[in-house]
Amino acid sequence: MPGLCRDCDARADTAPCPRCGGVRVVRHAELFHLATAHIDCDAFYAAVEKRDHPEWRDKPLIVGGGARGVVATCCYIARLSGVRSAMPMFKARALCPEAIIVPPDIARYAAVSRQLRAMLERLTPQVQPLSIDEAVLDLSGTEALHGAPPAIVLSALARRAEKELGLTISIGLARNRMLAKLAAERGKPRGFTVLGQEAAALLAQESVGVLPGIGPAQARRLASLGVTTVEQLAALDAGMAARLGQEGAALVARARLQDHRPVQPERESKSISAETTFSTDIADRAGLEAELWPLCEKLGRRLHREHQAAAGLVLKLKTAGFEQRTRSLRLSAPTQLPETIFESVLPLLAREAEGTRFRLIGIGAAPLAAAALADLGDLADTASPRRRARQEAIDRLRARFGDHSVQRGRALRSLGG
């Protein structure tokens, strides 16, 4: 079976490597034929902190908010004590009292992310960033350029990232994006995992929750239909898939390990927004607020879906005479919460709603921040974690029963209820 030494890039069928004696040998029948790769940095924020503070290398490290906040990420040493991302800080402190705790420094992390992306783009123009620490690559047709198949190019990339950036990355290599992501997740940290034709048999008896897009609420819904494994979901016919709603056919396709999404090398979003044009002009503040609230909910959903948070907000208004007004503010802390977005932008709206007739209103998030930094809270902000938990509960109910199954009082008032 073809093999590759990850320490020297020699083709090695067995370990240790006959050239360098290294034991990190990856072997797979399709190793030198697959070209879709998922790159995922290991404990990214914590890795950057330890790189910049070598004295912390062998100590547990947590990146997160204050005593009432949550864990943004933690190093693998801290994970041995049970600490996990999104865990309340008081619980993380109790599990690992000796941990070093530092607040997130998103600007520094973003700078390192850009350096890594430059490395990726030297391998192929087909690079699609997924978040600050993840990207997917299509290396098809690059063997002639690099003089080596994608597997060898990726192995060299991992060593270069470790040497030049002080980061370790995990790599998944497969025939499509979804399988590449699943492969990367199975090998962390410092992993290089390949999923080929054996993937269907390998994943058959695993929980449906292993598939992207199937969270706890969806998994419970599937379980109520007697579907708990990937194999059972893949076996559903069109009629049963329809019982799962609009996403049913897509869920079954995922279980069959089908993914036809191309790698799209678009630049990362600089802003995310939502807007609406009124059927008739609105001048009063209450009417404008009623139109603004559902846009804040829509913006919150989009931020969550794209793994982003709002570090600032932009209010957009267009008068009846087509004059456009934009007003902006910076937030004290990133957020994804519609309630926080709405309350933060109300003072901007109040200053504009003085009798002018408007035909359009919009709300945007700019600049953006990483989702992991959203709504952490601290001693001066004890409300954000509670709001975040409440919004997550609402999202779970809506995922199960539909977008209109749960409405806030503000939304009902805007509908005249």
Give the whole-angstrom CA distance, residue 306 versus residue 272: 9
pLDDT(257) > 70: yes
Q: Phi then psi for 291, rounded to 5 degrees?
A: -80, -30
Say if residue 294's pLDDT is above 90.
yes
pTM of the model: 0.69
Active site residue 134: yes
pLDDT at 262 over 80: yes
List pLDDT tens digits, range 150-163: 999 999 999 999 99
Q: Which of the 8 DSSP states describes residue 369?
A: E
pLDDT of residue 140: 96
> Which residue is it, tokens 């020297």?
8
Which pLDDT band holds residue 270 (cuts at 50, 70, 90)? low
Query: Roughly what angle, to the nearest 10 degrees, separates helices 44-52 and 106-123?
Result: 100
pLDDT band at 370 (very low <50, low <70, confident <90, very high): confident
- CB neighbour class for 358 (10 Å; exposed up to 12, middle 13-18, buried from 19): buried
pLDDT greater than 70 at residue 378: no
- Looking at the predicted structure, is the pLDDT value of residue 268 above 60? no
Average pLDDT for residues 163-190, to the nearest whole number? 96
pLDDT digits (tens, 9 = 90+) for 77-117: 999 999 998 888 889 999 999 999 999 888 899 899 999 99
Q: What angle, rounded to 10 degrees, do the helices at 216-224 and 383-401 form? A: 30
Percent of the chain with pLDDT over 70: 88
Catalytic residue chosen out of the listed positions 49, 134, 289, 339: 134
Given a cut of 50, whether residue 380 has pLDDT beyond it is: no
The domains located in the chain, with CATH, are 32-197 (3.30.70.270), 200-255 (1.10.150.20), 272-414 (3.30.1490.100)
Confidence of residue 407 (pLDDT cuts 50, 70, 90): low
